Amino acid sequence: MPLYKTITVDQSTNVLIWKIEETFEFLSESVQLTAHCQKRVDSMKSDLHRRGFMSVRHLLAVCGYTDHDLYYDEFGKPHLTDGKYISITHSFTFAGIIISDVPVGIDIEKQRDKINKIAHKFVNDFENGYVEKEENSVKMLTAIWGGKESLYKLHATAGLSFKQHIFISPFTLEYPFIYGAINYDNTIDHYDLALIEFEGFTCVYAVPASEV
């Protein structure tokens, strides 16, 4: 069982990361999916996506849950039947979840040069100002994307724009804590984010401000 990393954020918030090394067939053993999730995994063309999907079910099992304890709302946001909050991510050979008593979000991204080409789609002028001062733009941009993706998952509202509504405060790669905000529908919400790097990947998870 390649449970790669566990992080206890606080007494009610835990992050688990899985390194995907097994075959889909191995990961599927002893896992019973709901009809909805079975249909989802059957429709996936990528073997790596299918393995990532099943790896998440193994992470759920580590926390004492099964696929039947998980359901999705109309926005595709996952929920747990016991009322706890959950966020899910998988990217290439890693999958992760965060579970908490408060709203949370998580994202894992592979650090790739091509993020420079799409930065204009999600980085606003304020963020661009401090990114330009850093030598490693790929890692900086991946952290910003991961931060915004984790906040988007947490908020899960139609019409929310990465560039216009989600803001990441200045940070450095040497200090793993970031601050973010969502300014949407005349309301500003503040969040604490934590940054983790491993094996060429960036993981960012978000909780309401002061919860980290």
Q: Which CATH number belongs to the domain containing residue 62 in this structure?
A: 3.90.470.20
The pTM is what? Answer: 0.94
Report CA Rg, the chain.
17
Of 71, 101, 131, the position where a domain reaches its end is 101
User: What pLDDT, in 10s, does the model give residues 189-199?
Assistant: 999 999 999 99
- For position 153, what pLDDT does the model report? 95
Of 76, 101, 126, the position where a domain reaches its end is 101
Q: Is residue 211's pLDDT more than 60?
A: no
Q: Is residue 161's pLDDT more than 80?
A: yes
pLDDT band at 157 (very low <50, low <70, confident <90, very high): confident
CB-neighbour burial class of residue 117 (10 A; exposed 0-12, middle 13-18, buried 19+)? exposed
Q: Is residue 134's pLDDT more than 80?
A: no
Q: Is residue 114's pLDDT more than 70?
A: yes
- For position 47, what pLDDT does the model report? 96
Mean pLDDT of 75-102: 96
Whether 124 and 163 have beta carbons less than 8 Å apart is answered as yes
**Percent of the chain at pLDDT exceeding 70:** 98
Check whether residue 13 and residue 96 sit in a common domain. Answer: yes
Check whether residue 95 and residue 157 sit in a common domain. Answer: no
* Structural domain count, the chain: 2
- For position 96, what pLDDT does the model report? 98
Triad 47, 51, 55: Cα angle to 5°: 170
83: left (phi over 0), alpha (psi -120 to 50) or beta: left
Check whether residue 113 and residue 198 sit in a common domain. Answer: yes
Check whether residue 129 and residue 202 sit in a common domain. Answer: yes
Check whether residue 86 and residue 116 sit in a common domain. Answer: no
Residue 161's domain spans which residues?
A: 107-208
Distance in angstroms (rounded) separating the CA atoms of residues 115 and 144: 11
Of 101, 121, 140, the position where a domain reaches its end is 101
- For position 212, what pLDDT does the model report? 42
Cα-to-chain-centroid distance, residue 172? 20
Check whether residue 142 and residue 176 sit in a common domain. Answer: yes
Q: Is residue 206's pLDDT more than 70?
A: yes
Q: Is residue 58's pLDDT more than 60?
A: yes
Check whether residue 111 and residue 89 sit in a common domain. Answer: no
Check residues 132 and 39 and name the one with the higher pLDDT: 39
